[in-house]
Amino acid sequence: MNYSHQRLLHFTEQVFIKCGMNEQDAKQAADVLIAADLRGIDSHGVARLSGYVRLYEANRANTNAQHKIIYETPSTATIDADQGLGLVVAPKAMDIAIEKAKNVGTGWVAIQNSNHFGIAAYHAMKALPNNMIGIAMTNASPLVAPTYSKQRMLGTNPICYAFPAGKHLPIVIDMATSAAANGKLEIAQRTGKPIPNNWVQTKDGEESTNANELSNGGSLLPLGGHKGYGLASLVDVLCGVLSGANYGPWVPPFVAFLNPLENLPGNGIGHFLGAMRIDAFRPADDFKNHIDNWIDAFKNANRINKNQHVIIPGEPEFLLEKERLETGIPLNDKVKADLQELANKLALEF
Amino acid sequence: MNYSHQRLLHFTEQVFIKCGMNEQDAKQAADVLIAADLRGIDSHGVARLSGYVRLYEANRANTNAQHKIIYETPSTATIDADQGLGLVVAPKAMDIAIEKAKNVGTGWVAIQNSNHFGIAAYHAMKALPNNMIGIAMTNASPLVAPTYSKQRMLGTNPICYAFPAGKHLPIVIDMATSAAANGKLEIAQRTGKPIPNNWVQTKDGEESTNANELSNGGSLLPLGGHKGYGLASLVDVLCGVLSGANYGPWVPPFVAFLNPLENLPGNGIGHFLGAMRIDAFRPADDFKNHIDNWIDAFKNANRINKNQHVIIPGEPEFLLEKERLETGIPLNDKVKADLQELANKLALEF
């Protein structure tokens, strides 16, 4: 049995209200989470709801946060998120970036003192209806070892770029800078199947095909070796160092049962968001026509297997969203039990 | 025998002057090329000089180019490079980005109608002495196949981010979005050794460990599979589609013996450059102190092999540059013969 997105939205919103959020913020946070489920990024949707609640219960997330701008220029701002959820502050920050782009061509917002913000694509895609390119990045709790190290020093630190198209669906590139996204690893953990040998390493830094290596003290590996380490580093510097948030090994864990390290160099976790007005570079219609042409060229590129065309980044997620808006969202038993437990604890109906 | 960088600079400058460049532009172009040799990116230095000359001889590069701004906002510009060399226009465009960042916090310049710009790091690093973060990307002639395709649709499309540090060397991340950089492939071609099976594929899209597969009609593979395809695509869209340059399979080849395709959708090749003032986000000294702390943390991360510490992106290149400024630049026999031939043809002394 699938769950309608409306039902999951309503439940998630009620949970956040029980945690002390006002209705508007709760609606926003729920919208970001359910967008992940709709787009098939199940690891970042309602599956994480109880994790956010535990952060709130452990006094690690402020559900009544009042964000404020602490530095600002015509094209930039730095925001102190007041220990709120990234789910709430990131869309507000994206609105600021869009407003700045309207005024001076581009807008860039670094955010400190935040918590996890859900899927990067949600925030970057806010730029699209404004004929803008959207950019979103976040750092995250350390799980990835840099090349030559066996220590977890970087998060899966995603990079997202969203580009508007004309007649076609937008191009949305949203990718963790680790070799494997959490979601794929979780599927392998459930099925017990071996994973490719470049996804994780053991606690001693040796190759492994065991999806459970992380629980043995191992670490995730960066995408394609040292280049992924470079990509994760640039995300960490923009999100953590530039904003005044924590970075590297000091990024506070998402799971409430692990305490942050002592003597943190910054505040909370950090995000970096951007919006660029297309017509600050060329007429928006020209750009969108050429994006359509780009998409047509790539879809029609010579295939290796005649039954598999080239996939345009973001297309599978848009198609799945369309499907799940109609047929609902499947939840696995563990997630269902988790949500039922939340409902019981908070005296809500699931 | 090594060649002093002054000698190579002087020779390169003379070659560009013989091609019709004014002295200032020739000096600039030579400086970008020799910076590559000094930093150990030998594939992008004087080894390419005769390639630029052949582009000029084939009337594919304008050595007397007058670039002009064709769109502009306070934080952005689009430049028509007038078919000039990226080696010359990219530093000028970076100066514009830096000026805009001084005024409104950040500056972003898209460039169309250009030719190859050398190493991305040269341009991004121009931001560093201004207490700014520098960003540089370029698209390039198609060599890389998108996932599920056997067709060359994307260049090695590099991404570079340069971050200033305090007491330490800057962090400079400069990476092709293909699995293997050209330089590494060329070394394997010379030595005839097998390469990892994720660098190239055959013309039919099959795995290969043959470094010469490209000459058989094969293609380079994107970094880490479909994520590298996503990264190369975002570089292509920012550099090609946003600027009004060519993109995807239409990017004109660097080698003069291959003609551009017909009915091109844009002008020349494209670049995308950015500069962000650090103190548009937080005080520059705070940022630089935390970058130093980031570097110390990563250098001291637990090692897998006790003799190999974690490498900070850009550090090997800075150390090699220091060495080569003193001991000179080694050139292989093929490059030496190539430069001697250029000298003979242009009546110069090498």
Amino acid identity of residue B42, one-letter, is: D
Residues near B198 by beta carbon (within 8 Å), at least 6 away in sequence: B179, B221, B225
CA angle A28, A72, A275 (to 5 degrees): 55
Give A-chain residues touching B310 at CB under 8 angstroms: 146-149, 153
Candidate from A171, A241, A243 with C-beta closest to B237: A171
Instruction: List chain B residues with CB under 8 Å of A248.
Output: 294, 297-298
Taking the C-alpha atoms of residue B23 and residue B26, their distance in angstroms, rounded to an integer, is 5
The rounded distance, in Å, linking the Cα atoms of A74 and A177 is: 30
Terminal CA-CA length for chain B: 14
Q: Domain B65-178+222-313 is in which class?
A: alpha beta
Nearest-by-CA chain A residue for B179? A224
Residues of A in contact with B280 (CB under 8 A): 71, 73, 75-76
**Mean local confidence (pLDDT), A297-320:** 98
Chain A neighbors of B223, CB-CB under 8 A: 223-224, 227-228
Q: At what angle do helices A333-346 and A49-57 cross, to 10 degrees?
A: 40
Mean pLDDT of chain B: 96
Beta bridge partners of A79: A69, A111
- Tell me if residue B347 falls in helix, strand or coil: coil
Closest in A265, A279, A290 to B241, CB measured:
A290
Whether residue A181 is predicted with pLDDT greater than 90 in this model: the reply is: no
What is the mean predicted confidence (pLDDT) over A78-93?
A: 98
Class assignment of domain A1-57+315-350?
Answer: mainly alpha
Give B198-224 pLDDT, tens digit per residue: 999 999 999 999 999 998 999 999 999
Nearest CA in chain A to B198: A224
Asked if B241's CB is within 8 angstroms of A287's CB, the reply is: yes
Q: What are the chain B neighbours of A145 within 8 Å (beta carbons)?
A: 301
Which residue among A75, A153, A276 places its CB closest to the CB of B104? A75
Put simply, the answer to whether B243 touches A282 (Cβ < 8 Å) is yes
pLDDT above 70 coverage of chain A, percent: 100
Kindly identify which residue of chain A lies nearest to residue B289, measuring between CA atoms.
Answer: A241
B242/A281 Cβ within 8 A: yes
Q: Are A290 and B246 in contact (CB under 8 A)?
A: no
pTM for the whole structure: 0.98
| Residues in CB range of B163: below 8 A, 6 or more apart | A234, A237, A241, B133, B170, B171, B172, B291
Least CB-CB distance to A227: which of B223, B302, B303?
B223
| Nearest partner of B314 among B125, B104, B102, judged by Cα | B125
Q: Which of A104, A230, A311 sits opposite B175 (nearest CB)?
A: A230
Distance CA A121, CA A117 (A): 10
The domain limits of chain B are 1-57+328-350, 65-178+222-313, 179-216
CB-based contact B238:B61 (threshold 8 Å): no
Cα A301 to Cα A294: distance, rounded to the nearest angstrom? 11
Average confidence (pLDDT) over A45-74? 96
Q: How far is A350 from chain B (nearest CA, A)?
A: 37
CATH number of the structural domain B1-57+328-350: 1.10.1530.10
H or E element in which residue B103 lies: helix B86-104
- A142-167: average pLDDT: 98
pLDDT at A186: 81
Report which residue type is found at A40: G
Check pLDDT > 80 for residue A218.
Answer: yes
Lowest mean pLDDT among A154-158, A187-191, A336-340: A187-191
A150/B302 touch (CB, cutoff 8 Å), yes or no: yes
| pLDDT at residue B191, rounded to an integer | 85
- Average pLDDT value for residue range B224-239: 97
Give the model's confidence band at B340: pLDDT under 50 very low, under 70 low, under 90 confident, else very high. very high
- How many A-B residue pairs are in contact by the CB < 8 A criterion? 232
Chain B nearest-CA residue for A248: B294
Please list, in sequence order, all residues whose beta carbon lies within 8 angstroms of the beta carbon of residue B276, skipping any fewer than 6 positions away.
Answer: A76, A108, B101, B105, B106, B127, B132, B133, B135
pLDDT for the residue A182: 74
CATH for A65-280, among 3.40.50.10490, 3.40.50.11540, 3.30.1330.10, 3.30.1370.60?
3.30.1370.60
CATH class of this structure's domain B179-216: alpha beta
Report DSSP state, residue B300: T
**ipTM score of the complex?**
0.97
pLDDT band for position B182 (50/70/90)? confident
pLDDT exceeding 90 applies to what percent of chain A?
Answer: 94
pLDDT tens per residue across span A86-112: 999 999 999 999 999 999 999 999 999
